[in-house]
Each structure stands twice: as structure tokens, then as C-alpha cells.
Amino acid sequence: MNTLPQQLANGLLLGSMYGLIAIGYTMVYGIVQLINFAHGEIFMTGAFGALTVYLYILPDGTTLAVAVPLMLIGGAIVAVLIAVGAERFAYRPLRGAPRLAPLITAIGLSLALQELVRNFYPGADRARAFPGLDATHDIGSVTIKDADIFLVVAAIVCMSGLAWFVRKSRTGRAMQATAQDPDTAQLMGIDTNRIIVIAFAIGGFFAAVAAVAYGLKYGSIDYRMGFLMGLKAFTAAVLGGIGNIYGAMLGGIVLGVAETLASAYIDGIPGMDKLGGQSWANVWAFVLLILVLLFRPQGLLGERVADRA
């Protein structure tokens, strides 16, 4: 069952999820040089937004084919509103403040969001069941779930949509200009505040897509789910080269594949027999980050500092 192709598929799937969340870190960093450490919690609220639609809005017995798109919309609305609200009320007043101030704010915001969900969402002090898309398909020796198909399709659609938007649309060009030189972007007539809001909104939307995929795949969500997923996605963004949207996706996939393969096979190496298994997956993920930062600090696709005149 756990053959190499299966492990690779597992890694790619996990990595796509990291990549989707990593977009939020990388776009915001690229434009305002802020690490939004509350982004993991924005992902978490997206999951609860989607669950709310399923439990409290849709009539009982709605088929998942109908429910999933509506859950996606609900999750996206919640995550985007929280992301944009965080920008407007928590980060914008601190623009121009020392860098530590927004960083501490982000950490505070992430704790606040966790506690709000834990205390006020019905039953969220424990894990809550999420409808799963568990039907399986065998492709050769690889078994995947419907939830995995949802994840892959969503990741491909979102990423190609984003790539088109950033490169070809007028707003996308304004976004690149704002990332490269915010003052001069204003001289072009670009409302840079609006661009920043759009970056947060796109990040929130992508996090919600990942959150719905997470729920459908694992069948359960909880108020702490954003912490580790957020940390991994941030790692993915740094790994790929923070500020670079393709880097975020590539970093996610590299991270997902690396940690999956490491936890599956590293105990086969003589002397490392105690270092395998799922419990070591996070260790290998962060070892990879340390290695990349040592040998390629700008990340896999990051620009050299000299290019960033």
C-alpha cells in the first residue's frame, strides 16, 4: 500500500495545500514586507466558515456535490473578511511603525482568533467533524480520495488564475509595481492601499480553499489547525523565495514531498532507524528549511538582492 508512488502522491497533495496557504504569506510579504503570522488562523476560520454553511445554513441531507461549492463560498467570505479586516484595523495603523510592532500584533491576532473560535463556536473546544469526501479511486498503485481530486483541481485552477491575474491584468501589473516600488506606484496613480487590501483578500481566499480541502480530506477541523499548517506554509513560502508566488507553490510541493518521503523512508538508513515515521515529519520539514536558508538564503526562486534595486 505505501509504495513510493503513493508516498509521492501523498507528498504532492500535502504540498499543494501548503502552497495554497503559502500564497497568502508571500503576497502580503511581497507588497508590505509584513509576515502575517495570523494567516494560519485565517485558514482555520475559513474551515469554520465552510462548516457553518454545511451545518447551519444548508438543509440536512444536501449532497456534497451541491454543498462543497457553497461551503467554499462561505469559507472564502469568512477568511477574506477576516484577512481584510486584519489589514484595515490591525496592520494599517502600524504601517511605518518599527517592524516588531506588526509582528507582535500578528501573533496577538492569531491567539485572539483561536480563542474566539474555541470559546464561541459551538463545540469548537474539541475537534469538530467535517464532511469528508472519502470515496477512493485507484490509479495504478496509487489510491486517492475524492477530497484529493478536489484539492488538486482547486490548486491548479487557483494558481493558474493567480498567475494570469498578476501578469496580465491591469490590477496585477499595479500589484507588481507596488511590490517593486510603492512610492513610485503612487506616482502612477495606483491606490496602493487598495492593492494591499487585494493582496490580503487573495491570500484569505486561497487559505479558505486550502481549508475546505483540509476538512474534506481529514474529516475533522479544530481551532488549533492553523498553527502548524500556517507554520509549514510560511516555511514553504520562505523555501520557495518569499515574495514570489511561483516560489510559494514550488516551496509547498518540495516541502510536502520532502517531509512525506523522509518520514516514510529515512528509518531505512542505517543508524537512523529511530528517526522515521509521522512523528518526525515536522522535524524533517524544518531541517530542510534550515538547509535551504544556509545554502540559498533567498529561497529556491527568490531574486538575488542585487536585482531588487
Partner 1 sequence: MTTLLEVEDLRVAYGKIEAVKGISFKVEAGQVVTLIGTNGAGKTTTLRTLSGLLKPSSGKITFEGQPLNGVAAHKIVALGLAHSPEGRHIFPRLTIEDNLRLGAFLRKDKEGIEKDIQRAYDLFSILGERRKQAAGTLSGGEQQMLAMGRALMSQPKLLMLDEPSMGLSPIMMQKIMSTIVELKSQGTTILLVEQNAQAALSLADQGHVMEVGNIVLSGTGQDLLHDESVRKAYLGED
Q: How far is the CB of 174 from partner 1 (least distance, A)?
A: 6
Of 52, 186, 220, 282, which lies in the binding site for partner 1, with binding defined by CB under 8 A?
186
Of 184, 272, 296, 297, which lies in the binding site for partner 1, with binding defined by CB under 8 A?
184
Of 189, 268, 270, 271, which lies in the binding site for partner 1, with binding defined by CB under 8 A?
189
Alpha carbon separation from 162 to 169, 181, 248, 300 (Å, rounded): 10, 21, 12, 20
Furthest-apart CA pair in the chain: how many Å?
A: 62
Is residue 180 within the footprint of partner 1 (CB under 8 A)? yes
Query: By C-beta, is 141 or 180 nearer to partner 1?
Result: 180
Q: Which residues in the 284-303 window bind partner 1 by CB under 8 A?
A: 303
Is residue 190 within the footprint of partner 1 (CB under 8 A)? yes
From the list 190, 164, 179, the residue with the least C-alpha distance to 244 is 179
Q: Read off φ and ψ for residue 219, nearest 5 degrees.
A: 75, 10
C-alpha span between 207 and 286 (Å, rounded): 21
Q: How far is the CB of 245 from partner 1 (least distance, A)?
A: 13
Q: Which residues in the 84-143 window bind partner 1 by CB under 8 A?
A: none
Is residue 305 within the footprint of partner 1 (CB under 8 A)? no
Torsion of CA 116, 73, 25, 117, to 10 degrees: 10
Is residue 174 within the footprint of partner 1 (CB under 8 A)? yes
Is residue 65 within the footprint of partner 1 (CB under 8 A)? no
C-alpha span between 157 and 237 (Å, rounded): 19
Q: How far is the CB of 170 from partner 1 (least distance, A)?
A: 7
Is residue 62 within the footprint of partner 1 (CB under 8 A)? no
Query: By C-beta, is 82 or 174 nearer to partner 1?
Result: 174
Is 50 within 8 Å of 72 (Cβ atoms)?
yes
Of 66, 97, 188, 291, which lies in the binding site for partner 1, with binding defined by CB under 8 A?
188
Q: How far is the CB of 188 from partner 1 (least distance, A)?
A: 5
Is residue 192 within the footprint of partner 1 (CB under 8 A)? yes
Stretch that binds partner 1, among 15-23, 188-196, 225-233, 277-285 (CB under 8 A): 188-196
Torsion of CA 48, 237, 37, 86, to 10 degrees: -70
Residues in the chain: 309
Amino acid (1-letter code) at residue 62: T
From the list 1, 2, 22, the residue with the least C-alpha distance to 256 is 22
> If you ran DSSP here, which 8-state letter would residue 34 be given?
-
Alpha carbon separation from 181 to 33, 89, 257 (Å, rounded): 12, 24, 35
Strand-pairing partners, residue 145, are 136
Is residue 177 within the footprint of partner 1 (CB under 8 A)? yes
Of 143, 176, 220, 282, which lies in the binding site for partner 1, with binding defined by CB under 8 A?
176
Over 87-148, what HEC string results?
A: HHHHHHHHCCCCCHHHHHHHHHHHHHHHHHHHHHCCCCCCCEECCCCCCEEEECCEEEEHHH
Is residue 33 within the footprint of partner 1 (CB under 8 A)? no
Q: How far is the CB of 189 from partner 1 (least distance, A)?
A: 4
Query: By C-beta, is 125 or 181 nearer to partner 1?
Result: 181
Stretch that binds partner 1, among 6-14, 26-34, 185-193, 212-220 (CB under 8 A): 185-193
- Footprint on this chain of partner 1 (rule: CB under 8 A): 170, 173-174, 176-177, 180-181, 183-192, 303, 307-309
